Amino acid sequence: MKALVGGQFRPLNEQDVNKIHQTSLKILEEIGVKVELEEALQVFKKHGAKIEGVIVRIPASLVEEALKLVPHKFLMAGQEEKNDLILEDKKVYLGTGGAALTILDLETGKARPGALKDIAQVAKLVDALENVHFYLRPCIPQDIPREVMDINQFYASLSNTTKHIMGAAQSVQTARDVIEMAQMIAGGKEALVKRPIISFVTSWMISPLHFATETTQVLLEIVRNKIPVALSSAPMAGSTSPVTLAGTLAQVHAEQLSGIVLTQLANPGSPVLYGAIPSMADLKTMGYVGGGIEFGLMNAAISQMAQSIQVPNYNSAGLTESKLPDIQAGYEKAYSVCLCVLAGSNYIHHAAGMLESMRAVAYEQFVIDDEIIGMALRLLEGIQIDGETLGLEALREVGPSGNFLSSMHTVKFMRQEYFRQTLGDRQTREAWENSGSLDGRERARRKAKKILKTHLPKRLDAKIDREIQKRFDIRL
């Protein structure tokens, strides 16, 4: 997949980045992190960290050692090569995300519990959306038992899109099951390591500075298998991190460095994504705020922190507190998406579909967000300046008082110079009224329905599919 390159927006200067990094090193060395998992404690102890009960203090030298081991570039593959993502430097990809319990029904528009079929249907929708680059399951199916949830979510995703799939695992055993299934599809253990068609996200950090025991176990299992994994930590300024943006950035950077140290000491060279998702709390309600402009600003800044240590990053954009696809959702999403794209964030999740502070998703919102993302990506293409685009010869040809409608210069560049909307309306009012006076949400609903009715994603190999169905408890 062609990647555009960001980095045009830099909210932090070099001195700012260095100050944050140095403060984070002090946090790790002087305050430390709380680790209760014995396996992780032993990894830290073996390599010279200072252990006092369950508090691990990590010297700067250990951080530097880990940063020499961690990969600066790696592949997150699609089942088809055209969907491969190469994570490095400031290459930009955007996709879905979340663990919403609610989905807005495409027919009724009413909120209802998410189901396994929704994961499959949204995967099919995403497969057809040009600007959504990967699929992280966006909702939690509430119609199947918890113990078979992970394998079914990955199966529903892998069987309905060939784009890269990311998800979570609730236990070591379910992580093993998902990896085994992916190996069956990829062609074996080594084939999956070479072309990882899946990756994991682990919320291993309970901010501030506390390793979640069970999730850290899952993280270490994934690292042993050298499957890409996002080190997700999501402190809320004013609640689980300092209220200042700078303080939150320093804390979450320290949390990320501690995760990088653990993973690289446990299995050197294992591919990890720097997964900071700084946010803030609404100090009136103590609720999570994802639609604030500061959210986008911090997620753009944290991209610079990841770039400074040359580790591909996973962050967040496209969130909103709105309960439905409306104008609030539009402006809150557009701001954070544009900020993170221009900052050169590598793997931006939550960028499509999300509503209500990650509590809900909507089919039509995925379609709307595909257009928002497409417009943001157009910013990265910039303005091409060369002998042809400056149009001097076209001006000579047309001359004063002429027009360029029939110029060969127009014919050559008209399709590549401008972003082509497929959802937005540019008709006259009269034409719009004659075609039904549809608003953007209704146009998106109709487009989503059409895609789900007509789009045929590439299916899993029939023999492998039968083997998977026989090996695992598949409920789809």
| CATH hierarchy code of domain 4-12+68-381 | 3.20.20.480
Q: First vs last Cα of the chain: how many Å apart?
A: 29
Rounded to 10°, the helix 14-26/245-266 angle is: 60
Query: What are the residues facing 85 on neighbouring strands?
Result: 76
Question: CA 90, CA 8: separation in Å to the nearest integer?
Answer: 10
Q: What was the pLDDT predicted at 283?
A: 87
Q: What was the pLDDT predicted at 2?
A: 83
Question: CA 301, CA 11: separation in Å to the nearest integer?
Answer: 6
Question: CA 360, CA 103: separation in Å to the nearest integer?
Answer: 5
Q: What is the pTM of this model?
A: 0.96
Q: What was the pLDDT predicted at 111?
A: 97
Question: CA 409, CA 388: separation in Å to the nearest integer?
Answer: 8
Q: What was the pLDDT predicted at 1?
A: 81
Q: Which of 101, 103, 102, 76 is nearest to 87 (CA)?
A: 76
Rounded to 10°, the helix 363-381/440-454 angle is: 100
Q: What was the pLDDT predicted at 387?
A: 94
Query: Could you list the mean pLDDT of each consecutive 10-residue stretch along the chain, which spans 476 residues?
Result: 93 98 98 98 97 98 98 98 98 97 96 98 98 97 97 98 98 98 98 98 98 98 98 97 97 98 98 97 90 97 98 98 97 98 98 97 98 97 95 95 93 92 95 96 98 97 97 96
Q: What was the pLDDT predicted at 12?
A: 98
List, in order, residues 6 or more apart from 429 with CB less than 8 Å away.
Answer: none
What percent of the residues of the chain are helix, what percent strand, and what percent coil, each to the nearest 5?
Answer: 45, 15, 35
